[in-house]
Amino acid sequence: MSLSKPTGARRLGRTPELLVPAVLGAFVLLYFALPFASFLSRTGVEHVAAGVSTPGARVAIRNSLLTAPVTTAIATGFGVPLAYVLARASFPGKRLVEALVLLPLIVPPVVGGAMILTAFGRFTPIGSAAAAVGVSLTDSLVGVVLAQLFVAAPFVIITARAGFGAVDERLEQASRSLGHGPIGTFWNVSVPMARSAIAAGIVLTFVRAIGEFGATMMVAYNPRTMPTEIWVEFVGGGIDAITPIAVALLAVALAVLGVIGRLGRVPTVIEE
């Protein structure tokens, strides 16, 4: 994979006016790279292998790999249609809907977790009804998904909306004039035309879900996911104790980016 080359892009050496922005950007890249390099230098392959083979780490990795895809699928299935509506329609209360989509990104995750508890906790009407049929909405994998969904779903909605907004509406109108209904036009024209943005949102949603800690800790401290297991290990043993599972979390995120990057040119800054 390599950085994408936008239309009209010029070589840096031939554009002196870009040197100052490039130098300033280099400081940001250095700031990103130093923590990664410093952290990874603290461990070796054997240490990581031993750390992720413990029962607690294996369970946490399994739980994260089970819940994050479910969260991503739910967010995509419900969020992409919402994104299309926001991109194409004007209706009373649209500003409120847009604010509701953005609020989970503004609210601290721990506060978001507390909000989820007030709506779906064990002693709430919804939580009690679910418990009556044998489904626990807290301290369960369902609770993990609820927490991840709250903080991660906005990413796919926002990016998909931007993708749909960039689609020429005349193409959709042409599809309708050829006899395709609104659903057929959505699936055969709108979604394919916005696929890069949608896929980028899916990647961001998955990575955000698998790395979610604050809301998950509030709603479902047990069963543990990788982030909550990292916190428990840090409290008990410091940075060296969390290195193996943290490296595993990083590896999962990088693997997802790699796979998606090969399947489609996403995220939008990464292309084949």
Residues 86-123 pLDDT 10s: 999 898 999 999 999 999 999 999 999 999 999 999 99
Average pLDDT of the residues in 149-177: 91
Say which DSSP state 122 is in. T
Global pTM? 0.83
Specify the pLDDT at position 4: 45
Tell me the chain's radius of gyration from C-alpha atoms: 22
Sequence-separated contacts (24+) of 258-266 with Cβ below 8 Å: 258/1, 260/199, 260/202, 260/203, 261/1, 262/1, 263/199, 264/195, 264/196, 264/199, 265/4, 265/196, 266/196, 266/199, 266/200, 266/202, 266/203
Containing H/E element for 41? none
Residues 111 and 104: their CA atoms lie apart, in Å, by 10
- What is the number of other CB atoms lying within 10 angstroms of the CB of residue 251? 12
Backbone angles phi, psi at 139, to 5 degrees: 50, 45
Average pLDDT of the residues in 211-239: 90
Task: Write the CB contacts of 257 (distance below 8 Å, at least 6 apart in sequence).
Answer: 203, 207, 267, 270
List, for residues 192-219, the tens digit of each pLDDT value: 999 889 988 998 999 999 999 999 999 9
Say which DSSP state 256 is in. H
Q: Greater confidence, 257 or 79?
A: 79
Q: Answer whether residue 244 shows pLDDT above 80.
A: yes
Specify the pLDDT at position 125: 95
Query: 6-15, 189-198, 240-249: which range is least confident on average?
Result: 6-15
List, for residues 66-82, the tens digit of each pLDDT value: 999 999 999 999 999 99
Residues 4 and 268: their CA atoms lie apart, in Å, by 8
Average pLDDT of the residues in 244-252: 85
Say which DSSP state 13 is in. G
Residues 57 and 69: their CA atoms lie apart, in Å, by 19
Residues 13 and 218: their CA atoms lie apart, in Å, by 51
Q: Answer whether residue 164 shows pLDDT above 70.
A: yes
- 270: which strand partners? 3
**pLDDT confidence band for 11 (50 / 70 / 90):** low
Domains in the chain (CATH in brackets) are 2-271 (1.10.3720.10)
Task: Write the CB contacts of 159 (distance below 8 Å, at least 6 apart in sequence).
Answer: 83, 197, 198, 200, 201, 204
